[in-house]
Amino acid sequence: MNITEKKVVLEVKNLTKEFGNDTAVKNISFDLYDGEFLFVIGPSGCGKTTTLRMIGGYESPSSGEIRVAGKSLTHVPLEKRNIGMVFQSYALFPHMTVQKNVEYGLRMRGISKVQRKEKAAEVLGLVELEDYADRYPAQLSGGQKQRVALARVIVLEPDLLLLDEPLANLDKRLRDTMRVELKKLQEKVGITTLYVTHDQEEALTMADRIVVMHDGNILQVGSPKDVYNDPSSQFVAGFLGETSSFHGKARTSSGGQNEVVVDEDMIVRPSSADRFTEGNNVFVSIRPERIKLSKEKQAQDVNCTSGVIDFVSYLGSHVFYFISVLNGKSLLKASEPIPHGEASFKAGDFVHAYWQEENVVCLDER
């Protein structure tokens, strides 16, 4: 089943938040579906955390509506919302064991001691921490603390789980591991989740869909594949992953095809689906992994350029080449996997770069 054919759990309609003369969130709308893992991403100050806090009840909207499970929660206090939230700090009680931390919310709800123990044990099994029930937070690793914080929320069976950059305090190696663990756990439990982060890799790795925010606005909503391969704006193209970007003017070739003239030595031809008005300014984006390099010039006069490699960035499994093109006026980024540990080119090499029509993103500049 397509995820958008499922039941809507969260509806955000025309949500706005003003702080004095500043508008942090500007009339945004989106839906979150049953069992979905939805990511809201954007740079610092884009409004993503303010949006999360309004949904959780920690901030009041200036206008707009928030509905969860069909009920308006716009003016409902946070303690009466069946919404769980995990913060960056995890907020575990240091004087309580793992078991007691997980039981805490149940105790506040008046659940009996026997039921609390049963429910906590079940959830600790889900997060694979049943053997750590008697330990204290100070005796846990960062990843274990993360799972305890999740267990403490999951045990309450919320309608919606909110995650505020929960992996931000972990080192990169553990963060990469926890991405996989968190995604597996979310799928296992089936809990509807809204995850806020500025980390593009987290979003691409874990999300069912991504909401991209900038300056209080939503710029694009879509699957990781759609947002990465078909960005709706220059900002989205540059924010979500690496890209080589250029600016040019649209024209129609003698054969009737759309082209973008970046420079007299660089003509970009997008796929036939792209349509532009002749003479318009156009933004061009090409992902580094879609660019092929050669020391020999190929029989191709569009979707190509040439230049000198300024710098080679070795990243273990692959390399990035930074190539000075168009007489040094622009920088082209290309990448290639290196399964045998040797890069094909080095700094100072003169190379020819090529790409296919379907790998070009062209957008009218308004």
Domains of the chain, earliest start first = 3-235 (3.40.50.300), 242-364 (2.40.50.140)
pLDDT at residue 4, as a whole number: 63
208 within 8 A of 3, measured Cβ to Cβ: yes
d(CA 297, CA 199): 38
Buried b (16+ CB within 10 A) or exposed e, 161-176: bbbbbbbeebeeebbe
Q: What's phi and psi for 38, nearest 5 deg?
A: -105, 130
d(CA 185, CA 148): 12
Q: Which residue has the tokens 């039941």?
A: 7
Residue 329 buriedness (CB in 10 A; 0-12 / 13-18 / 19+): exposed
Report in angstroms the alpha-carbon separations of 81 from 68, 119, 156, 299. Answer: 9, 21, 12, 64
pLDDT at residue 253, as a whole number: 83
pLDDT at residue 275, as a whole number: 67
Q: Residues in the chain with pLDDT < 50?
A: 1
pLDDT digits (tens, 9 = 90+) for 73-129: 999 999 899 999 988 778 899 999 999 999 999 999 999 999 999 999 999 998 889
d(CA 50, CA 63): 13
CA angle 262/265/270 to nearest 5° reads 50
Instruction: Give me 361's structure tokens.
Output: 């993103």
d(CA 89, CA 96): 16
Q: Running DSSP on this structure, what letter comes out for residue 279?
A: T
* pTM for the structure as a whole: 0.90
pLDDT at residue 57, as a whole number: 96
Which residues, at least 6 apart from 151, have a Cβ–Cβ distance to it below 8 Å? 102, 120, 123, 124, 126, 127, 129
Residue type, 129: L
pLDDT at residue 365, as a whole number: 77
CB atoms within 10 A of CB 30: 18
Which residues, at least 6 apart from 359, have a Cβ–Cβ distance to it below 8 Å? 286, 287, 290
pLDDT at residue 366, as a whole number: 63
